[in-house]
Chain A
Amino acid sequence: MEEHIAIKLNKAIHQKARLGIMSILMASKQVDFNYLKDRLKLTDGNLSSHLSLLEKEKYIKIKKKFVKKKPKTLCQMSDKGRQAFKEYLENLEKIIRSTP
């Protein structure tokens, strides 16, 4: 029996918060932690755990630096992440097309 296309959806991306992070990173070169927090209405801890998961999958790169003596966390999409996101979108499209 052929497996349903929904099973192929990337679990690391198929979650509202992580999907939000990936979408924002797709649209911009680099994004800081606070911007993501504000846009996605997440708490520090919640966002950190989602970012860690995406970083573990090597979908994003996280850089930490100091700007005017204040720590700043910058996130950037990796090539692998871009590819995974593209595939995820293709699978979503297939789901939509498969249902009459």
Chain B
Amino acid sequence: MYTAADHPEIGIMSSAAVNVLPTRTITSPGLVMSLAFTSGFIIMSVELLGGRILAPYFGSSIYVWGSIISIFMVALSTGYLIGGKLSLRNPDLFKFGTFFLVAAIALLPIVFFSDLAMESVFTRIEDPRYGSLIASTLLFFVPTAILGMIAPYSVRLMVENAGHSGQVAGGLYFVSTLGSALGTLLTSFYLVLWFEMNTIVISMILALGVAGMTALWVGRKSLR
């Protein structure tokens, strides 16, 4: 038997939830997979741009990267926790889609208010280490946490029974981490050479919007 301890990544599922799973028919695993890929891509693309966004105010020293990476990690871990909790309550594709739309909205301040936010942090905090830490929290915590919710929730959407849950989680981590790798690579090699940063972030927002609307459309039946 699988237990939560064997697979900490699905530890959020109660045994009761696992038991009702086989009665659910799983819709569009391909869609869930590609959505997980998209979110993985966007998380790392935004993280990488984070360094560039903060540099005019806090420099580009190692501690700026330290701030960004740690805030992304804390945000993701918070997101995993919340996403796992939410997956207990009648998980469906429709709710899944709303995560993407909320994440898209949460990224908007990076485009429109980042200078304002960094300016006010800069004038209040002299030490660029803590300045960059606070600024990354303000700019990146919320959208990253929401994107983090997608991972455990997508596991829940695709798991039919406890027996193959590890495999499903593995497959999802595979696509989303692959998405992250690709997001890192494309952004640093090409996107910054071709586009302005805001253009890249706005494209990410649109991609999340499209992803979310698709999930809402496909999952609309579950509303009835």
Q: Do A and B come from one complex?
A: no
Where the two chains meet, the residues of B that have a C-beta atom closer than 8 Å to any C-beta of A are: none
